[in-house]
Amino acid sequence: MTIASFHPPRRTLMGPGPSDVSDRILQAMARPTIGHLDPAFIGMMDEIKTLLQYAFKTKNELTFAVSAPGSAGMECCFVNLVEPGDKVIICQNGVFGGRMQENVERCGGNAVMVQDAWGSAVDPEKLEAALVKNPDAVLVAFVHAETSTGAQSDAKTLVALAHKHGCLTIVDAVTSLTGTPLLVDEWEIDAIYSGSQKCLSAPPGLSPVSFNARAAEKIRQRSSKVQSWFLDLNLVMGYWGGEGRRAYHHTAPVNCLYGLHEALVIVQDEGLENAWVRHHKNHLALRDGLQEMGISFLVPERDRLPQLNTIYIPEGVDDALVRQRLLTEFDLEIGSGLGALAGKVWRIGLMGHGSSEKNVAFCLNSLKAVL
């Protein structure tokens, strides 16, 4: 058997990620590959750091892109900040809070779980109660934008509570970065991670992260080695740090970083605040169209993510069959439910390049036709 070149179909991606990637980014990724220590590439890395600082609304020097997906960004934060025996309070209101727990336990830490119903925002009162009950806790971790449910929590309030009780914070911003207001310096977030494939609309495979001075100091004061060699910030920053000079650590995904650079330039050109407004406006249009069809949302309106809309599957409708028909008849992808929500909800993404009036209308009309 002779295998020919792969030519993927052209889909409209309106699931929980990856999101649609614009031709502008795909063209950037097709540019000539150069060495990862080439002076021209190093200059582009410096620009990526500056553009990520803009996207995160931070001046943190320790801001860069991990050469792996958002899950590695999560692991980067935990393996560097959690030492054996550390007590970490984790707020869970969906799938990804559970992954935080797994990271803490694999680092030898003790996870204290604060549970909220899936589809709800994290309850600050529950977090404060846990902080009072566990005065020896050193870290608080939570998901700002829970991708499994479409719920957004009040990061500013949660971080302030953690600091009030002497804890540092780790925040999951995989789905929130550039899609909804996120102010790392103003909210005093200590460590944060995201992914390239959501509202940045670059291909999967890179994880923007940022650490402030407090987090960097905790990493420097560790009494044990970082569990992961690849994600040890003491080593990685020899590659990303400094102006125009790099120490070899790993071979960076050169062309993927071209794509991230272009995605961040697009955010810069539109303006971060304008991107937030666009995502919200398109969410409202989708909401109104779904309500006309009698379809309701899982998350209360005050806590909804504009870029990730979780809706109840109408009674008597076959979840998998509808998604299959949308894909085969309309080349449209929407997401299924995860965990306890499997078979009960669909997740419709309006992220980055895919958040447009055209996509809202296309999704609504396709869904109407299939239902």
pLDDT of residue 182: 98
Taking alpha carbons only, the member of 199, 289, 180, 221 closest to residue 80 is 221
Is the pLDDT assigned to residue 295 strictly greater than 90? yes
DSSP state of 28: H
Average pLDDT over residues 33-53: 95
Q: What is the mean pLDDT of residues 270-275?
A: 98
Q: Provide the whole-model pTM.
A: 0.97
How many angstroms from the chain centroid is the CA of residue 235?
A: 24
> Taking residues 44-72, what's their average pLDDT?
97
What are φ and ψ of residue 86, in 5° steps? Answer: -65, 135
Q: Where are the domains of the chain?
A: 12-18+272-370, 23-267
Whether residue 149 contacts residue 337, with contact meaning beta carbons closer than 8 Å, is answered with: no
Report pLDDT for 79: 98
Q: What is the mean pLDDT of residues 276-283?
A: 98
As a whole number of angstroms, the distance between CA 213 and CA 220 comes to 10
pLDDT of residue 237: 76
Task: Return d(Cα 198, Cα 200) in angstroms, integer.
Answer: 6
Q: Is a pLDDT exceeding 70 seen at residue 245? A: no
**In the structure, what pLDDT confidence band is assigned to residue 244 with cuts at 50, 70 and 90?**
low
State the pLDDT confidence band at 18, using cuts at 50, 70 and 90: very high
Residue % of the chain over a pLDDT of 70 = 99
Q: Which of 31-35, 101-105, 239-243, 342-346 has the lowest mean pLDDT?
A: 239-243
Output the pLDDT for position 43. 93
The amino acid at residue 329 is E
Q: What is the mean pLDDT of the chain?
A: 96
Q: What is the pLDDT of residues 211-235, one digit of tens each?
A: 999 999 999 999 999 999 999 998 8
Question: From CA 233, how far away is CA 286, in angstroms rounded?
Answer: 41
Q: What pLDDT was estimated at residue 242?
A: 57
What number does CATH give the domain 23-267?
3.40.640.10
Give 90-130 pLDDT, tens digit per residue.
999 999 999 999 999 999 999 999 999 999 999 999 999 99
Residue 203 preceded by cis peptide, ω within 30: no
Q: Is 352 exposed, middle or buried (0-12, 13-18, 19+ CB in 10 A)?
A: buried
Residues 6 or more apart whose CB falls under 8 angstroms from that of 162 comprise 89, 127, 131, 139, 140, 168, 169
In this model, does residue 243 exceed pLDDT 70? no
Q: Which residues contact 87 (CB under 8 A, 6 or more apart)?
A: 109, 110, 112, 134, 136, 137, 138, 139
What pLDDT score does 362 carry? 98
Summarize pLDDT for 164-191 with one digit per residue, the tens: 999 999 999 999 999 999 999 999 999 9
pLDDT at position 88: 98
Does 3.30.420.10 match the CATH number of domain 12-18+272-370? no
Looking at the predicted structure, is the pLDDT value of residue 335 above 80?
A: yes
Residue 313: per-residue pLDDT: 98
Question: Rounded distance, CA 11 to CA 14, Å?
Answer: 9
When pLDDT is averaged across residues 60-82 and rounded to a whole number, the result is: 97
Do 197 and 10 contact (CB within 8 A), yes or no? no
- pLDDT bracket for residue 240 (50, 70, 90): confident
The helix (H) or strand (E) run that includes residue 339 is none
Tell me the one-letter amino acid at 141.
A
